[in-house]
Amino acid sequence: MTPMLKQYGEWKDKYPDCLLLFRMGDFFELFFDDAVTASEVLDIALTARDQDKAIPMAGVPHHALDSYMGRLIAAGYRVAVCDQITEPDGKTLVDRSVVRVVTPGTYVPQDAEGDGKIAAVALNGEDASIALLTAGTGLLEAGTFPVDEAVSLIFSFRPGELLIPRGLEDELSRRAPDLTAQAAGQSAIVARERGEFSPQFASAWLCKKWGLASLRAMGVEDADPASGAAAAAIRYLEETQFGGADHVHGIRPLMPEGMLILDRTTQLNLELVEGDGASLYSVLNRCKTPMGRRRLSYWITHPIADLDEIGRRQDCIEAMAGDGTLLRNIAESLSGCRDMERALGRLSMKVGNPRDLGAVRDTLNAMPKLLRDIDGSKSGILESIFREVPDVSGLGRLLSDMLEDDLPRALGTGNVIRDGCDTTLDEARDAIRNAEENVRAFEQEERERTGIRVRVGINKVFGYYIEVGRSNSDRVPDDYHRRQTVAGGERFVNERLKEIERRVFHAEHEIGEREEVLYKSLLAAALKESRPCQAASAAIAELDVLRSLAEIARDGSYVRPVMDESRAFLVKGARHPVVEKSLGTLPFTPNDIELDPDATDDKGCIAILTGPNMAGKSTYLRTAALVALLAHMGSFVPAESALIGLMDRIFTRIGARDELSRGRSTFMVEMVETANILRHVSRRSLVILDEIGRGTSTYDGMSIAWAVVEFLDLHVEGRTKALFATHYHELTNMSLPQIVNLSMAVDESRDGIHFLHRVVRGPASRSYGVEVARLAGVPNLVVRRSQELLAEFEKSSPSSDDGLGDLSRKYVQKEIFFDVEREGVIERLAQSDPNQMTPMEALGLVSSLREKSRRILGYK
């Protein structure tokens, strides 16, 4: 164990749960078990430091650390970065120290997606207090909710790490088994000291950190246990980043009053941000900035129920949608903005570099033109977006004056600070620029002095040298000192060349030191203005989203919905935004949606939707949910007209899936989701239910579906709005207030059935399941037998095993007859000879065989 390896061991002992990346020159090295692990994960060579190969070793270049570290984090490992904090002098051991700990919740790469997400949860009686911290942007949200809602919010957030109080793991597993069961695959669970979650200490600590008298200024009560979860999340970020959490400036209440709540199931069912194919986000996303794309995703998953804010967003969209020139100008200006929000986060976490500072500069420089673009817009509505943004133009000018246009990825490589900004730096650079001229002059002088054609060059190992060919090696002056032998001759140095070398190397060192000083001053200036810059980022993001929605509204013929305090949901010609986009130039069939619990006419508020599969029932259901969601985002909607009253929640129970890893069958998942809806539905909710009860026996399923409809109609105070798709036609006979029957229109002809994708009043006459099977390519023999059985079941449903057995025995006997008939057709065809037949005889044979074949196959 060399002194260096002992140093490595000391730091490894302090961070035993991390892979220790140990800086050695141009590489970060790993040793022992860490080296073995890293070589497997990163697919890099595993070497050894000793001849006996008892000390495994693996390393990555320091300039590529970020990409390699990302792969380690993606594999679920924590990484401690141990860097050199003193310059090597070749005599003493370099001092090293761990400068940051990178974890799945705190990794914020520069060039890749991912902002680092940390969630903290603490149980509080029957509720759970949670905090959701996005490390890259500094956004911190917190709140206290029933356990199932808290679990849903954490799942939707998808944190890289979940912080829990130490010692409460078992209680959390018992109270929130869904959370602990799935967190193992989604997040790393990190146990923290229970005192970090204490609301009393947390509130005082947070108020002191942010200079507040009370957290109420941020909409959070001081005694709210959510403040404990929030403090635990910030402390963890500060601990791993060694204090780098100054970009977290406050707490935003999680789901405050005035929000439309979407649980995790609804978000998955509606494929809002991610899904197997296209999502609502992918359709709406025409944003020009990374901040805008993040804000759009947030708006989709956090719609609002505030009429004033919805109206303000609609006004902004209307102002831009009607002015194509304004849209283009804003888009051009936004294209010059970079991810200032994330850059500030990286700089605050001490993992940023000159390019992050350049992102701040470029964005601030783009703002003046952006503000000119929106100046004088209709009613001044767009200017209001930037009304609360402080003036940060001074920082923009400072960064523009000081920073080079094209910045390097790392500090220390030069070319960060412009010429003319600092006298000391300029003089050092002049020395470097003049070095080549001085060297060439020295070379010419030496040639004249010695009479030898010498050549002056530089080597990374030995520095400057004078090279003399072998034929002249015996003529070198006495003041030449040999430094190296090469194939073509000898290399020397003298005192004059050493002096030139000292001046050059001193200038290079001075450039590095001076640039670092100037860069740190710029960094300090930027971080001092981080709050105003974050406010500017937020305003840019909002304008970007509104511009994207305006462009979608203009190109997609979306309309401005009328939003009010009623409970009406009346949409004419509604279209599914994602399906319509995927159809391209093909037409989409629009449908009306009419639900109103307070209506006195026949509109109704609970619709029973029947019709065959593939006819468009699920599309109609999702259309209703997405139109409601878009309206509560403040967006225009794909329809001819819309009157939508404020809602508090959208619930969906769509599709079939199991969760075998959690011991849940498809039917169990369906019932759990249905139970969640029935427990939380209110008079202002919208409920979307598709095929409730299909995962069990017919009568069990129909009974459950019937009871659910009764509950929504009779046991929710004031009733609620619901669309209920089902194949249980018995439900269409329910005689309850405010229930209407809808069905999917089908066109029947001799060629079969054609789905019109149009919703009409009245129940479906039948389900057309057999016809759908035929369209899907089920063999004709099976389709024909299904038709026969359906006719038998419709006449008298067999309820005993004997009745079913009789049907099968008759089928076996009938199939024997069919086999004989088929053989007859084949035998007659085989015995025929077309060469010996007249055209009329051949036509007669074909006609005869056709009639027999159609009778065998059951064709009409």
- Which of the four pLDDT bands, split at 50, 70 and 90, describes residue 857? low
Q: Which helix (H) or strand (E) holds 127?
A: strand 127-134
Q: By mean pLDDT, which of 263-277, 554-568, 604-618 is the weakest?
A: 263-277
Contact indicator for 291, 541 with CB cutoff of 8 Å: yes
Q: Report d(CA 261, CA 268) in Å as an integer.
A: 14
More confident residue, 363 or 655: 363
Q: How much is the average pLDDT of 168-194? A: 74
Structure tokens at 600: 């006195």
Sequence-separated (6 or more) residues with CB below 8 Å from residue 142: 129, 130, 131, 132, 220, 224, 226, 227, 229, 230, 251, 252, 253, 254
* Amino acid 818: pLDDT: 52
Q: Is the pLDDT of residue 804 over 60?
A: no
Q: Which backbone phi and psi does 757 adopt, to 5 degrees?
A: 60, 25
Q: Report d(CA 518, CA 152) in Å as an integer.
A: 47
* Amino acid 224: pLDDT: 84
Contact indicator for 635, 764 with CB cutoff of 8 Å: no
- CA 1 from centre of chain: 46
Q: Which helix (H) or strand (E) holds 445?
A: helix 423-450
- CA 385 from centre of chain: 25
Convert 373-401 to b/e letters by CB count within 10 Å (16 or more is b).
Answer: bbeebeeebbeebbeebeebeebbebbee
What SS3 state is found at 77? coil
Torsion, Cα of 707, 710, 716, 721 (10° steps): 110
What SS3 state is found at 641? strand
- On the CB side of 35, CA atoms within 13 Å amount to 19
Q: Is the pLDDT of residue 803 over 60?
A: no
Q: Is the pLDDT of residue 809 over 90?
A: no
Residue 318 burial (CB < 10 Å; 0-12/13-18/19+)?
Answer: middle
Q: How much is the average pLDDT of 204-211? A: 91
Fill in the amino acid letter for 560.
R
* Amino acid 660: pLDDT: 43
List pLDDT tens digits, range 245-259. Answer: 889 989 998 876 788
Sequence-separated (6 or more) residues with CB below 8 Å from residue 698: none
Q: Which helix (H) or strand (E) holds 430?
A: helix 423-450
Contact indicator for 270, 626 with CB cutoff of 8 Å: yes
Contact indicator for 29, 58 with CB cutoff of 8 Å: yes
Measured over the CA atoms of residue 623, residue 624, residue 625 and residue 631, the dihedral's sign is positive
More confident residue, 89 or 136: 136
Q: By mean pLDDT, which of 455-464, 575-584, 799-808 is the weakest?
A: 799-808
Q: Is the pLDDT of residue 340 over 70?
A: yes
Sequence-separated (6 or more) residues with CB below 8 Å from residue 34: 12, 19, 20
- CA 610 from centre of chain: 36
* Amino acid 661: pLDDT: 44
List pLDDT tens digits, range 543-577. Answer: 999 999 999 999 999 999 999 999 999 999 999 99
- Which of the four pLDDT bands, split at 50, 70 and 90, describes residue 658? very low
Q: Is the pLDDT of residue 401 over 50?
A: yes
Contact indicator for 709, 590 with CB cutoff of 8 Å: no
* Amino acid 606: pLDDT: 93
What SS3 state is found at 86? coil
Q: Report d(CA 48, CA 54) in Å as an integer.
A: 7
* Amino acid 816: pLDDT: 47
Q: Is the pLDDT of residue 656 over 50?
A: yes
One-character DSSP codes across 516-528: HHHHHHHHHHHHH
Residue 70 pairs with which residues in a beta bridge? Answer: none
Measured over the CA atoms of residue 182, residue 184, residue 185 and residue 188, the dihedral's sign is positive
Q: Which helix (H) or strand (E) holds 56?
A: strand 56-61
* Amino acid 805: pLDDT: 55
Q: Is the pLDDT of residue 100 over 70?
A: yes
List pLDDT tens digits, range 136-176. Answer: 899 999 998 888 788 878 887 888 899 999 988 788 777 77
Residue among 189, 44, 199 nearest 103 (CA): 189
List pLDDT tens digits, range 510-519. Answer: 888 899 999 9
What SS3 state is found at 7? helix
Q: Report d(CA 779, CA 790) in Å as an integer.
A: 17
What percentage of residues in the chain have a pLDDT greater than 90?
A: 45
Q: Is the pLDDT of residue 817 over 60?
A: no
User: What DSSP designation does 261 have?
Assistant: E
The residue with tokens 């509505």 is: 381
Q: Report d(CA 520, CA 528) in Å as an integer.
A: 12
Contact indicator for 141, 254 with CB cutoff of 8 Å: yes
Q: Which backbone phi and psi does 855 adopt, to 5 degrees?
A: -65, -40
Q: How much is the average pLDDT of 5-23? A: 93
Contact indicator for 78, 18 with CB cutoff of 8 Å: yes
**Most confident segment among 87-91, 260-264, 559-563, 783-787:** 559-563
- Which of the four pLDDT bands, split at 50, 70 and 90, describes residue 823? low
Q: Is the pLDDT of residue 414 over 80?
A: no
Cα separations in angstroms, 503 against 446, 466, 608, 802: 19, 17, 87, 106
Q: Is the pLDDT of residue 858 over 70?
A: no
Q: How much is the average pLDDT of 694-708? A: 82
* Amino acid 462: pLDDT: 78
Q: Is the pLDDT of residue 377 over 70?
A: no
Q: Is the pLDDT of residue 184 over 80?
A: no
**Strands 127-134 vs 139-146: parallel, antiparallel or unpaired:** antiparallel
Q: By mean pLDDT, which of 133-137, 247-251, 659-663, 727-731 is the weakest?
A: 659-663
Residue among 703, 686, 676 nearest 648 (CA): 686
More confident residue, 270 or 508: 270
Fill in the amino acid letter for 215.
L
Cα separations in angstroms, 705 against 622, 670, 725, 766: 19, 12, 10, 18
Contact indicator for 633, 299 with CB cutoff of 8 Å: yes
Fill in the amino acid letter for 859.
Y
Residue 687 pairs with which residues in a beta bridge? Answer: 651, 722
Q: Report d(CA 591, CA 209) in Å as an integer.
A: 54
* Amino acid 168: pLDDT: 82
Among left, alpha and beta (phi > 0; psi -120 to 50; other), residue 107 is beta
Mean pLDDT rounded to a whole number for the chain: 86
Contact indicator for 593, 624 with CB cutoff of 8 Å: yes
Q: How much is the average pLDDT of 409-418? A: 84
- On the CB side of 262, CA atoms within 13 Å amount to 25
Fill in the amino acid letter for 778.
V
**H-assigned helices in 720-832:** 769-775, 780-795, 801-831
Q: Is the pLDDT of residue 667 over 50?
A: yes
Structure tokens at 696: 């069990």
The residue with tokens 């998953």 is: 301
List pLDDT tens digits, range 416-472. Answer: 999 999 998 888 888 888 887 888 889 899 899 988 988 998 887 778 899 999 888
Structure tokens at 410: 């790392």
Look up the pTM and report it. 0.83
* Amino acid 811: pLDDT: 52
Residue among 367, 372, 393 nearest 537 (CA): 367
What percentage of residues in the chain have a pLDDT greater than 70?
A: 91
* Amino acid 807: pLDDT: 57
The arrangement of strands across the sheet holding 455-459 comes to: 455-459, 463-469, 489-493, 481-486
Q: HEC string of 539-554?
A: HHHHHHHHHHHHHHHH
Residue among 235, 145, 149 nearest 197 (CA): 235
Q: Which backbone phi and psi does 229 adopt, to 5 degrees?
A: -65, -40
Q: What is the CA radius of gyration of the chain?
A: 37
One-character DSSP codes across 14-33: H-TTSEEEEEETTEEEEEHH
Q: Report d(CA 433, CA 506) in Å as an integer.
A: 13
Q: Report d(CA 480, CA 492) in Å as an integer.
A: 6
More confident residue, 34 or 785: 34
Q: Is the pLDDT of residue 666 over 80?
A: no
Residue among 505, 661, 513 nearest 180 (CA): 661
Contact indicator for 7, 94 with CB cutoff of 8 Å: no
* Amino acid 257: pLDDT: 72
Q: Report d(CA 149, CA 161) in Å as an integer.
A: 19
